[in-house]
């Protein structure tokens, strides 16, 4: 860690009021705040109390006033072969007409608007229009199943839903309207209006007196001026449901002022983002990364944000790098899963385009294993920086603050704590703080959480306290539910979910450690390890690996030989107790559409249990292959 980072971090902990008051100058306030942080009601915290601001003003209007012709939103779709650049002036016009449409349907400050859209510009317009009006948006990933969508409609109770005829993924049209109609049929709450954006991809029927034509309303209301609604800093900006929920959805609730300040701070101190440059996040607006670092963060920083509809390998595996060259991307944000996909492609695709504008590639969403990090860093010749954070925090807990002073990454580690995060490692049983280096503990954050983190669970304060602040004996700390260790230099290493710990004959093993070991085998592209119930040992580890070259396991004999090599590697590096009972070779692993491995679903299939709510499963064939292998069919 550098001296300048250490001083910055220490001040954020020792003098949080002074530190965050300075960071708050990065945004515009219609009314200054009276108090930096109200901690009178732990574990709740209210940031910038008494202040009034608006996210849309800070993301759009203030830049349109001074740099109207600069690029703001760059939309690229390899699915439909279209590209469009919106200047800040054009973005403001689009957001204002969207706000006029919503206001014309009775949407007011505090009302909820559910957004169920693909990666199209109108998705950003709708989010920003809600922020402009003070309405609370709840974005649901486009293409979610009807039952899951109905649960979210009932929980959010939106007055209006914004949707489209269809999205497209890998060239396959995904009709949204039938899914939405069925969801509304299933939901107890019936939204009054549905605003439909017709992309011409899939014919759909309209429900009389409910479904609105976006194109007609946009034409009629074009040029309407809609002022920003100045909101109290602790007003709700949005709710976002965490993926993979079962039963009643869990809505992460975010504020306005703290969110704006945290994102402005992270853009400057972490990502080194500069006004007039281009930020490219390959995520989706349905996930928290899309909220923070496609829509709000880059625009608040005055950067152009690149919104991409498509996959990393279509039309070829050079498509992302072509965009970096074409739009002079300076900061890129993606996921380890996407990098592992690229790892299977022609390596020449990585060197086809000029990447001289790119300063760094940030990765988040899944633990970044050392082999993957080294491979992409060597391939593109740029710093590769891991991020560790959660939907609940909204911005990184652990990474490297490249805007303060670039520090050397340690492969396998996301880095060090970011400002305001009072990170601790705790003994799960006693709650004792583990001070010595290289001790495994539960990663927790002491109260208060910094600005930008969740305020509470939407409409359920008790669930917020119970879920996040009550899991460690004798301590009221925020639990990340992840195991970690901290080395002698202060770098943290994430070892896996605390609920993914395997107990083998009394030995507690983190799945991440076994996965790292197996991923280091030169034949393995990616791997998932789960604990499976065993009558003798309590649990045993089971590994599922995707190979770089499937021919390595083309015959039973070849598969057995390769499995033996991998098991020997685990024996040598971690010991026999960590050896998986089997290593199964699969064509793909079951993941959410955001790229997270569905380890619990794999575990359930291995134990012949119902895998539960699989609304986020990207490709059902992945889980079916595991089911067949476990059943002895493969």
Residue spans per domain, the chain? 3-310+387-482, 505-630
Q: CA-to-CA distance for 56 and 58, rounded, in angstroms?
A: 5
pLDDT value for 148? 80
**Long-range contacts from 77-82, C-beta under 8 angstroms, 24+ separation:** 77/119, 77/120, 77/168, 77/308, 77/309, 77/310, 78/308, 78/309, 78/310, 78/311, 78/314, 78/315, 78/319, 79/167, 79/168, 79/169, 79/171, 79/309, 79/310, 79/314, 80/168, 80/199, 80/201, 80/309
Taking a C-beta distance cutoff of 8 angstroms, is the pair 279, 331 a contact? yes
Burial of 35 (0-12, 13-18, 19+ CB in 10 A): middle
Q: CA-to-CA distance for 138 and 247, rounded, in angstroms?
A: 18
Question: Which tens digits make up the pLDDT trace of 547-566?
Answer: 999 999 999 999 999 999 99
Q: CA-to-CA distance for 133 and 130, rounded, in angstroms?
A: 5
Report the predicted TM-score, pTM, of the whole model to 2 decimal places: 0.85
> Taking CA 21 as the corner, what is the angle to CA 18 and CA 23, rounded to the nearest 5 degrees?
110
- The SS3 call for residue 454 is coil
Q: Where are the alpha helices (DSSP H) in 413-527?
A: 461-468, 511-519
Taking a C-beta distance cutoff of 8 angstroms, is the pair 276, 37 a contact? no
pLDDT value for 89? 98
Q: CA-to-CA distance for 458 and 342, rounded, in angstroms?
A: 38
Please enumerate in sequence order all residues whose Cβ is within 8 A of that of 561, keeping only pairs 6 or more positions apart, or say none.
none
3-310+387-482 fold: Rossmann fold (3.40.50)
**Long-range contacts from 36-42, C-beta under 8 angstroms, 24+ separation:** 37/448, 39/447, 39/448, 42/447, 42/448, 42/476
Find residue 543's DSSP bridge partners: 529, 583
Burial of 363 (0-12, 13-18, 19+ CB in 10 A): buried
Beta strands in 387-477 (DSSP E): 398-399, 416-417, 423-426, 441-445, 456-457
Please enumerate in sequence order all residues whose Cβ is within 8 A of that of 523, keeping only pairs 6 or more positions apart, or say none.
547, 548, 549, 552, 562, 565
Instruction: Give the tokens for residue 144.
Output: 């979610």
Nearest to residue 162, comparing CAs of 215, 214, 95?
Answer: 214
pLDDT value for 629? 80
The two beta strands, 507-510 and 582-586, are unpaired
Stretches where the chain sits below pLDDT 50 are 243-246, 633-634
Say if residue 315 is preceded by a cis peptide, omega within 30 of 0: yes
Nearest to residue 543, comparing CAs of 561, 558, 522, 524?
Answer: 524
pLDDT value for 365? 81
Q: CA-to-CA distance for 418 and 8, rounded, in angstroms?
A: 9
pLDDT value for 392? 95
Q: How far apart are the first and last CA of the chain?
A: 49
The two beta strands, 524-534 and 35-38, are unpaired
Taking a C-beta distance cutoff of 8 angstroms, is the pair 296, 327 a contact? no
Angle (deg, nearest 10), helices 214-221 and 88-104: 110
Class of domain 505-630: alpha beta
Please enumerate in sequence order all residues whose Cβ is within 8 A of that of 620, keeping only pairs 6 or more positions apart, or say none.
614
């Amino acid at each position: 860690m550098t001296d300048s980072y250490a001083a910055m971090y220490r001040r954020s902990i020792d003098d949080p009021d002074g530190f965050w008051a300075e960071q708050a100058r990065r945004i515009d306030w219609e009314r200054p705040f009276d108090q930096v942080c109200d901690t009178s009601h732990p574990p709740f915290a209210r940031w910038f109390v008494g202040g009034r601001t608006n996210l849309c003003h800070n993301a759009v209007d203030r830049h349109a006033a001074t740099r109207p012709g600069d690029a703001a939103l760059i939309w690229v779709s390899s699915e439909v072969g279209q590209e469009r650049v919106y200047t800040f002036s054009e973005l403001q016009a689009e957001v204002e007409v969207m706000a006029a449409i919503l206001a014309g349907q009775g949407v007011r400050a505090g009302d909820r608007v559910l957004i169920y859209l693909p990666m199209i510009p109108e998705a950003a317009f709708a989010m920003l229009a809600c922020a402009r009006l003070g309405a609370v948006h709840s974005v649901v990933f486009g293409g979610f199943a009807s039952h899951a969508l109905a649960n979210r409609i009932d929980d959010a109770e939106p007055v209006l839903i914004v949707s489209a005829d269809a999205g497209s993924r890998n060239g396959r049209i995904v009709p949204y309207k039938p899914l939405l109609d069925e969801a509304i049929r299933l939901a107890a709450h019936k939204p009054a209006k549905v605003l439909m954006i017709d992309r011409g991809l899939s014919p759909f029927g309209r429900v009389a007196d409910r479904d609105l034509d976006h194109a007609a309303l946009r034409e009629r209301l074009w040029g309407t001026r809609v002022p920003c609604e100045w909101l109290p800093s602790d007003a709700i900006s949005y709710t976002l449901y965490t993926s993979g929920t079962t039963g009643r959805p869990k809505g992460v609730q975010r504020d306005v002022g703290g969110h704006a300040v945290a994102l402005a701070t992270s853009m400057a101190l972490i990502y080194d983002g500069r006004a007039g440059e281009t930020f490219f996040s390959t995520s989706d607006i349905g996930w928290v990364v899309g909220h923070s670092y496609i829509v709000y963060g880059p625009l608040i920083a005055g950067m152009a944000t690149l919104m991409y509809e498509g996959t990393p390998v279509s039309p070829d595996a050079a498509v992302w790098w072509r965009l970096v060259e074409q739009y002079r991307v300076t900061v890129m944000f993606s996921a380890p899963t996407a990098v592992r996909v690229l790892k299977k492609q022609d390596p020449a695709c990585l060197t086809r385009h000029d990447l001289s504008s790119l300063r760094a590639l940030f990765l988040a969403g899944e633990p970044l294993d050392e082999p993957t990090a080294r491979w992409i860093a060597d391939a593109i010749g740029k710093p590769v920086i891991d991020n560790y954070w959660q939907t609940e925090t909204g911005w990184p807990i652990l990474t490297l603050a490249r805007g303060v002073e670039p520090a050397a990454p340690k492969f396998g580690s996301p880095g060090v704590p970011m400002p305001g995060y009072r990170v601790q490692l705790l003994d799960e049983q006693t709650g004792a703080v583990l001070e010595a280096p290289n001790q495994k503990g539960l990663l927790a954050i002491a109260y208060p959480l910094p600005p930008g983190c969740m305020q509470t669970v939407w409409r359920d304060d008790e669930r917020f306290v119970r879920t996040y602040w009550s899991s460690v004996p004798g301590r009221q700390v925020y639990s990340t539910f992840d195991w970690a260790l901290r080395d002698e230099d202060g770098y943290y290493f994430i070892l896996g979910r605390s609920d993914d710990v395997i107990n083998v004959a009394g030995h507690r093993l983190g799945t991440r450690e076994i996965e790292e070991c197996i991923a280091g085998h030169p034949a393995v592209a990616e791997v998932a390890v789960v604990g499976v119930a065993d009558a003798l040992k309590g649990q045993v580890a089971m590994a599922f690996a995707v190979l770089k070259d499937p021919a390595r396991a083309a015959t039973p004999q070849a598969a057995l030989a390769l499995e033996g090599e991998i098991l020997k590697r685990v024996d040598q590096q971690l010991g026999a107790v960590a050896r998986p009972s089997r290593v199964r070779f699969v064509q793909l692993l079951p993941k959410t559409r955001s790229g997270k491995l569905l380890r619990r679903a794999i575990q359930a299939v291995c134990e012949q249990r119902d895998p539960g709510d699989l609304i986020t499963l990207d490709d059902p064939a992945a889980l079916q292959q595991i089911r067949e292998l476990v059943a002895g069919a493969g």
